[in-house]
Amino acid sequence: MGWTFRDIPDLRGRTAVVTGANGGLGYVIARELARRGAHVVLACRSRPRGQAALERLLEEVPEARAELRPVDLADLSSVRAFAAEWPDRPLDLLVNNAGQTAVPYGRTADGFETQFGVNHLGHFALTCLLGPWLLLRPGARVVTVASLAHLLGNVDLRDPHFEHGYRRWVAFGRSKTANLLFTHELARRTRARGLVAAAVHPGYAEGGPEARRAWPVRPAARVLARLVAAPPELGAAPALYAATAPRIAPGSFTGPSAVTRTVRGGPGGAWRAPWTRDDATAARLWQLSERLTGARWP
């Protein structure tokens, strides 16, 4: 019998932040953490959708301790405000879940290509700015939701904003590679300080980015999703496992492990492209991210 939500330990006294918790995988992650007693902060871009999610969560888990705090990862001023307003208390868990998937070319409020800006730079800045509170709690964790789509492309540090020949799925893949490189470097920097940085992918799940955003032929994608996509609960399992299971290795990559070992099933170790473990590229991406966001890990 593999790992299930029933294996999540008692989380009373713990505080967690989940970005993109207003729906899909993020909502399930927030709900299950709250069900086990964690004080959960739903970090959502849209206040109305976030409020609706909070009300739904409190209906499903009446004893939950949960709150909504808006944050727009496409606007660094919003990220800074979120961190500046954090109460002076330890943070046990940050789940970097929100993201943009295969959107047309666009720019964030700070001029970054949208997918790189939201999926990587927004979460990079949020993690760094919440770092002082994460480091107050020995064993705190940062879980970043990546994707098998990282196989679509390595980061291009000479053209991080994809100003030449933009292709939306390749841009998405690059942003997910950035998530893995970020986790790799964060794990290296914090291993001696007791923080666990881990990455996950949800496989092909309802509410996950690949199922939520259409492939090139949208009607076919919808049919495929109905036939093979796992429910959001299975898609959320790798993140919940990495967030709560004992002995999660720093820098690890967790995904669905049963059935096909790639797209469905219970959580377990996942294969990743070799370029996501490159120390030099991870360090250069970190330096670029610091320069672009102005955020520094404490």
Domains and CATH numbers, the chain: 9-292 (3.40.50.720)
The pLDDT of residue 92 is 98
Amino acid residing at 259: V
Residue 271: predicted pLDDT:
85
Tokens of 147: 């994707």
Distance CA 60, CA 256 (A): 26
Report residues of the chain scoring pLDDT below 50.
Answer: 210-217, 227-228, 259-264
Q: Which candidate, 61, 10, 66, places its Cα nearest to that of 36?
A: 10
Q: What is the pLDDT of residue 3?
A: 87
- Read off the pLDDT of residues 179-211 as tens digits, 9 standing for 90 and up: 999 999 999 999 889 999 999 999 865 555 544
State the virtual CA torsion across 144, 1, 13, 269 in degrees, nearest 10: -20
The percent of residues in the chain predicted with pLDDT above 90, rounded, is: 81
